[in-house]
Amino acid sequence: MLIVVVLFATVLLRAVIVMTVVYLMLPKAFFCPRCADKLASIRHPILRWVLPQVEHRWCLGCGWSGIVRRVRERRRILPQSRVINRAARS
């Protein structure tokens, strides 16, 4: 019985390593890997439910379609100028 558990654990560990490497190889979700154009999202309720870390995207420019990593879009905070800072103080 112990041999079965050890073999099952090694198979699970191998599967986890392969899935991690495949996930890290996926491109990020904002731009096309072929032409660097913006990607449009294709909604798949089953894919979103089963694998929420990935999403299906399509390039409007070259027609590329594929699975990409889902990343949060970071909002850029622009620094305030010195004039605005002085006006706020007075």
> Considering the domain boundaries, does residue 19 fall inside one?
no
Quote the pLDDT of residue 26: 86
User: Sheet of 54-59: strands edge to edge?
Assistant: 39-42, 54-59, 65-69
CA 56 centroid distance within chain = 10
> Considering the domain boundaries, does residue 81 fall inside one?
yes
Per-residue pLDDT of 49-78, as tens digits, reads 888 888 889 998 888 898 888 877 666 665
> Considering the domain boundaries, does residue 56 fall inside one?
yes
> Considering the domain boundaries, does residue 6 fall inside one?
no
Q: Which domain holds residue 55?
A: 28-89
- Look at the chain and report how many structural domains it folds into: 1
> Considering the domain boundaries, does residue 2 fall inside one?
no
The pTM for the full model equals 0.60
Residue 64 · residue 33 · CB < 8 Å? yes
